[in-house]
Each structure stands twice: as structure tokens, then as C-alpha cells.
Structure 1
């Protein structure tokens, strides 16, 4: 039986109840985070909590807990659920108000919800065992504040479903300049001539925690030149390697884009080195 956390209580998932007047339900007015835990060890706990705080600040929602309290809730939630390798979902909405109106209510109590789900165990990185992705690309039709990790994910969901209908596992998103910004649920990296590229942080992309960790690890080891700079869909199609990054995917090779292979259509050697380094150092963040 899955145990969840809701507004200060741990209870069975089927017993959790949230008001239909909650602004998270009515407006998608909330912030969420997903962080991985492997046998009790976290990846990027502090950066995830910091990004959640930044998002709550953007929405003018008071954080109901400090970092220490959040960490204790996460630890208790993991202890109450089965599994050595768990993803932890955290969500804070503005809470319920008596009247449905677009303006923020003057008084509301944030709704805090958290649950766990099973994730794959850590594996050694090999070309043969790499989980690869086939993706499509399309014009980004979402809103202009993609740096906020909001629960208002309809635009992302519709782009993801668009990829699924096309038989792909992800959708790369392209802005009006023809530049790849991110994917519907991931950040994107490109490798060309031993240089690693990813789009710079701005309102077009989510500041991914895994993205930041990957950049820090790669730069710390200095084997490859790493640039945060725009690249086009045309350049991506001609790349030596393309990757997706996220908390649950870690670093995932893209082998097909719009029905055509990237390079030889297999996970590449730079990905292998990057994922190997990530496995070695990820628990330090």
C-alpha cells in the first residue's frame, strides 16, 4: 500500500483528499519537484529544494517548510514506502479559496502533497545497455515562462503526446529562430567535434538539476569543451551525439531524430564517458 504525505499527515494514497476548490486543481497554480533516491542516497536534494523555492517565489506562494523540514518529510516518506530506489514527487499549490477568481486570494493555506514511485536501479554505463530514445521535433507552442517548474504542464503534455502518436519517446522543442531549446520533459545536449553544447538558461527552458550537475561534472574534468549556447535543429540533425537529461533519465542518448539516425544510430563514446562520470560523482550533489 502506497503511503503519501498530505498537509502534515502520512496516509494511504486512497485516503488522501484535496478540495476541488484548490487553486492547483482549478488553475494549475503550484510548483513541483521530482528527485531520485537510491538506497537512501539522493541526487541533487539541495538544488531541487532551491529550485522549488525559486518557483514558489515566482508565484508568490509562501514555502510552508524550510529545507530541514522538507528533508525530514522526504526521509520519512521513503521509510514508509517499499523499494530501495524511489523517485520522490513534491508539490505545493496555493491551496483552496472560497471563490474561484483569477486574482490571488488574500488568505490561503498552501496544499502540500508528496508521494514516491519506483525507479530503475543504478547501472554501469555501457554502449550495449544504454536506454536510447527516438525523438521528433516541433515548434514550441508553450507559454513564455518555461523556467518555472509549474504544475501547469498542459503544453508539455500535449507536446509529449504528439511525440507518442508519432511513435517516439520525446519531442524536441524549437523556438521561432529554429533553435532547439529543450524537450517536453527533458533538457537537451548536443555533441559535435568533441564540443558539448546545451541551450543557455532563460525563460524558454527549465533550469534542470541534472543539466546543472552534468555541466559541473564535465567542466570539472575538462576533457571536453562545454558551451551553453543556442544550436539549431539543422545542427542537431547533423550532430555526432544528442542527449536528453532529467532526474529520471539521467543522461539518455538520442539515436533517431525525425525518423533519421543521429550519426550511426547508436549511443556514442562521449555519452559513455559523461554517464560514467555522472555515475561516479552524482551523489556528491
Structure 2
């Protein structure tokens, strides 16, 4: 497998970064994960916007011109012989002296990773599980998709390695927040519900897409602060992320849910299928393009 590293496409066995990279030393790095479908990077513009915002927060400078990134993605897909791929675009501060840096990072390390994914997958159900470990508070005013992943790792260790389970974080105050690697949605009486960003969740691109899609289709939406009991009263529950798309929940605690047979889960899955091979941004959806 090949990766893109600071201007070059290299085999993973030849990829080298500095041990003085502040992404390694101090966690000064942000990343985005997204998928390509038949070579199209779904919602790439939104991913790049969030990545740029995270870089600005960390004082990291790098060229993220959209057309340049699209060419890199295509060239790497061709080199790896892929059309449908998992992509991770990673930007870290780059090498520097040991010690906390206050001036801008001007020599960033930029890496694009890819790995193969199936062309089409059926809806894969998961069981939800409330976590004992609580969601930590963001390092800044809004959670970044950064290298700071210990809270998520500790949560994954709590529920174990099973791919059929997803843990649900509560905040320190006991409000529903998000999954370990996903955002959380449920439907009650035809209304779509999801926790607010004020809980400290990562505002996922797929989360934003589902909310915009609901508005576009005039589906009632409620974003707020919720307790465990609220979601247990739901008609349907699902998780979202940019790689696994729509993830139906068939069980949470001792309560069973429709999972992949849910009416709204099926509806959102159909809509996702409709847009994923051509949409560049959520704004295009709002404009009806």
C-alpha cells in the first residue's frame, strides 16, 4: 500500500517522519476520515473546512487547496488500484525543538492514508452500551478531531474489541453525548433527536449531513441536552460516522429496537446512497444542486 507524504507518494515501508514532530511529541495534529465512492470523495469540502478550522486552532499552517487535495486523492487511488477507499488526511505540526511552541507551525507534516473498503455494504447493526467512563471536556471551545484520543481508547477498552458494539458516552453531568467513534441519533414519534454540541461531542460531518438532510426534507429535528431515559423511549436509534455511514442499533441495555428494519434508518440509508457518489458539500444539498 502507498501513502502520500509531504508532496510524494511513497510505499508504506519507506515512509519516514521526524521523531521531533510535535504531532508525536505533544499531540499537535488534526485529521479527517472520509470515504471515496467510485473515486469520489464524499463531502470533501466540508471535511477540509473542519480540518482547516482545527489547524487554525492549533496554529498549524499547510496548503489545503481543495483541487490540489482532490488530485492527491485521485493519484493515490490510482497508485493503490482503488475506487472505494477509506481515507485519512492527517496534518501535524511537523518537526520542532523539544518544548511547547507558541509561534506558528510552518513546516507541517501532511499524510494521506488509504485502505480498501467494499464497494457496497448492507446496513450493519450494532448493540449500544452506556459507558461508565465519561466524555472528557474539549481542550478548546469546541472538540477538534485531533490526536488526543485517550478518552476514546479507554472507552473502547471498556466495551471490548467486538465490532458489534458501540459505547455511548455520557457527560460529567449525565447527559447523552456521542458514541466512541460516532454521533448519536434517535427517532421518537417522527421527530429526529440528537445531543447538542454543547455536550462536548465531535460535530461529525455525517452528523451535519443528516441534520441538513432532515431540514431539506422538512423532518422535525430537536437538538438538545438529553438523559439516558430519553433515548430508551425512542422508536429507533442509529449512529453515524463517515466510514460506517448509518449504523442501526438493535439493542441498548435490555431494550430492543428495530435496527436495520427501522423505517427511518432505511429512509436515511436510501438518502445517503442517493448522494454519496456526487455530493461535494452539505451546502450543495441545501441549494438543491
Change (3 A) 1:204 1:227: same
Question: Residue 35 of structure 1 aligns with which residue?
Answer: 34
Rounded Cα–Cα distance in structure 2 between residues aligned with 1:106 and 1:279: 41
Rounded Cα–Cα distance in structure 2 between residues aligned with 1:166 and 1:82: 30
Change (3 A) 1:175 1:203: closer
2:221 corresponds to which of 217, 226, 244: 226
Q: TM-score, normalised by structure 1?
A: 0.89
Q: Does structure 2 retain, via aligned residues, the 8 Å contact 1:142–1:156? A: no
1:257 is aligned to 2:269: no
Question: Residue 239 of structure 1 aligns with which residue?
Answer: 234
Q: CA deviation at 1:65?
A: 3.4
Question: Residue 163 of structure 1 aligns with which residue?
Answer: 159
Q: CA deviation at 1:7?
A: 1.0
Question: Residue 150 of structure 1 aligns with which residue?
Answer: 146
Change (3 A) 1:196 1:20: same
SS at match of 1:80: helix
Change (3 A) 1:263 1:169: closer
Question: Residue 62 of structure 1 aligns with which residue?
Answer: 61
Q: CA deviation at 1:166?
A: 8.0
Aligned length: 276
Q: Does structure 1 retain, via aligned residues, the 8 Å contact 2:176–2:226? A: yes
Q: CA deviation at 1:266?
A: 5.6
Change (3 A) 1:100 1:192: same
Rounded Cα–Cα distance in structure 2 between residues aligned with 1:47 and 1:106: 24
Q: CA RMSD in A?
A: 2.0
Rounded Cα–Cα distance in structure 1 between residues aligned with 2:87 and 2:76: 8
Question: Residue 126 of structure 1 aligns with which residue?
Answer: none
Question: Residue 100 of structure 1 aligns with which residue?
Answer: 98
SS at match of 2:74: helix
Q: CA deviation at 1:213?
A: 1.1
Rounded Cα–Cα distance in structure 2 between residues aligned with 1:218 and 1:35: 21
1:279 is aligned to 2:278: no
Q: CA deviation at 1:217?
A: 1.5
1:90 is aligned to 2:85: no
SS at match of 2:119: coil
Uncovered stretches (5+) of structure 2, i.e. residues with no partner? 282-289
Q: CA deviation at 1:48?
A: 0.4
Question: Residue 243 of structure 2 aligns with which residue?
Answer: 248
Q: Does structure 1 retain, via aligned residues, the 8 Å contact 2:125–2:259? A: no
Question: Residue 109 of structure 1 aligns with which residue?
Answer: 107
Change (3 A) 1:141 1:197: closer
Question: Residue 76 of structure 1 aligns with which residue?
Answer: 75
Q: Does structure 2 retain, via aligned residues, the 8 Å contact 1:164–1:170? A: no
Rounded Cα–Cα distance in structure 2 between residues aligned with 1:28 and 1:190: 33
Q: Does structure 1 retain, via aligned residues, the 8 Å contact 2:18–2:95? A: yes
1:137 is aligned to 2:136: no
1:170-219 superposed Cα distances (whole Å, 9 cap, x missing partner): 11110133221111100000111111101122460111111111111222
Q: CA deviation at 1:265?
A: 5.9
Q: Does structure 2 retain, via aligned residues, the 8 Å contact 1:217–1:281? A: no
Question: Residue 49 of structure 2 aligns with which residue?
Answer: 50
SS at match of 1:33: strand
Rounded Cα–Cα distance in structure 2 between residues aligned with 1:69 and 1:167: 35
Change (3 A) 1:108 1:84: closer
SS at match of 2:67: helix
Uncovered stretches (5+) of structure 1, i.e. residues with no partner? 124-128
Q: CA deviation at 1:121?
A: 2.0
Rounded Cα–Cα distance in structure 2 between residues aligned with 1:230 and 1:83: 41
